[in-house]
Amino acid sequence: MTNLLILPILLPMVFAVLTILFRTHHRHANTMAIIGAVLHLFVSCLLMAAVLDRKVISLWVGSWPSPAGISLVADYLGAIMVLVTAVLHTAVVVYARIDITVRQIQSGFYPFMLLLTAAICGAFLTGDLFNLYVWFEVMLMTSFGIMVMENPAGRLTNAVKYVTLNLVSTMVLLTGIGLLYGLTGTLNLADLHDKAARVENTALLTSTALMLMTAFGIKAALFPLFFWLPASYHTLPASVAAFFGGMLTKVGVYALIRLFTLVFVTQTHITHTALMIAGILTMVSGVVTAASQMDIRRILSFHIISQVGYMVLGLSVLTPLALAAALIFMVHNIIAKANLFLVGGLMHRVTGSFHLTQMGSLYKTHGLLSLAFFIPAFSLAGFPPLSGFWGKLLIIYACLESRHYLSAALAALVGLLTLFSMVKIWSEAFWKPSPRSDTTPAGEKLSFWSLAPVLCLCLFTVLLGLFIEPVLQLALVAGEQLLNPAAYILAVKGGG
């Protein structure tokens, strides 16, 4: 059973090698990538079932003794994030058949994408802080490779900005890891839970916590170091932007959740207050900037930033309900945000532009495309009974329950401003008459490979909202596990 933990990491790596072998035969590469994605989704479902059965499972790679070896651990949070990654990866790989060119395949799109997926799953499953750093570096290298495939001049400048700031984050992260090891003598997360609580120099421990918060905050695109994201995402192919926008910042949020519920829990009046301030400023700055944009990719990019703020706000409140709400909102946002980037790519195929002033009449000419936009967009805005409504409502309720009234009010206000952006896209692209005479005629239909993944993700969003009660119960168990990590620690130190 515990060997399941390695499969979500190992399978994408194996298929990355296989797609390299077929990179000059793009159809075979497409097929191989889809097979790999489906198998990855299958083993992720098996892992989720195992965690539901056993609560927490762990594996010491190479059978090294605790806490010196490399550990893989899956609790509810980790298993859910791996499963959502597999769902999104499958949808993106199917969509890529119509979005990624032959030259991009020959430049290594599929191997990079599969290795990136493996690194993301590795980050979700590692039980060791140093290996979390290693997986972040693999993510950085593979995402940079995807950004510069074909060596386009327009993307290269933005990719350099992306890498430069992430390298700064890496230096801060390594410094924090070194300090934490010097204070505790371990980097195993379960071991750190006990040893960090016994550190006498609480001032240095808190400074280390803030340093790691800064490092992971950069990767999560927290205020004020989020400018790398809108500078790089808006130039990427739709399938790449969807996967990046859905997953990359959420790995940073995951790292914050893991560390600031398992390790840094003794000085919450400092650390979690800082998280709350950062979350609020991220929410507000992202949504306000998005409201002024007219390029659909830039609007969505700034909304990634804004909605990361909600997740961090849930973490900062630090109650089981708040953590459950943050998890529900994160799952909703991964699917809905990625889906909107995919839909934006289809809108570009239909109109020839990503700029809202060059779009129009899509409601009349492309009904399924209109539906595919409406569901994730208004879920993002918080319309009931879609998944985004429940995520925002639960975060606001958790804030009110904990007497953080200003945070709750600002979260509600940001939700209204998100609605403004989604209504702007709907009115400009779908309702108003088309300003172009060469728009794709109404009789021409988008292909199955383009519509199937976005409609499947729409169904996921609807079902997540309609069946919120069992989802909430699952998320509450995850929240309880985070705040009471005895089962996690026992599984790791007991070897499974």
The residue written with tokens 């990634």 in the block is 304
Q: Which of 86-100, 125-139, 174-188, 215-229 has the lowest mean pLDDT?
A: 215-229
Mean pLDDT of the chain: 89
Q: What are the tens digits of pLDDT across the range 21-69?
A: 887 888 888 999 999 999 999 999 999 999 999 889 998 887 776 667 7
User: What's the confidence (pLDDT) of residue 153?
Assistant: 60
Q: Distance between CA 318 and CA 171 in Å, rounded?
A: 28
Q: Which of 245, 297, 296, 236 is nearest to 99 (CA)?
A: 236
- pLDDT, one tens digit per residue, over 468-479 is 999 999 999 999
Tell me whether residue 416 is exposed, middle or buried, using C-beta atoms within 10 angstroms of its C-beta: 0 to 12, 13 to 18, 19 or more: exposed
Q: Does pLDDT of 442 surpass 50?
A: no
Decide: 336 and 491 in contact? Cβ < 8 Å: no
DSSP 8-class letter at 57: E
Tally of CB atoms within 10 A around 86? 27
Q: Domain limits at 112?
A: 2-493
Residue 28's alpha-carbon distances to 20, 35, 104, 105, in angstroms, are 11, 11, 14, 11
What pLDDT band is residue 464 in, cutting at 50, 70 and 90?
very high
Q: Is the pLDDT of residue 439 over 70?
A: no
Number of domains in the chain: 1
Q: How confident is the model at residue 496 (pLDDT cuts 50, 70, 90)?
A: very low
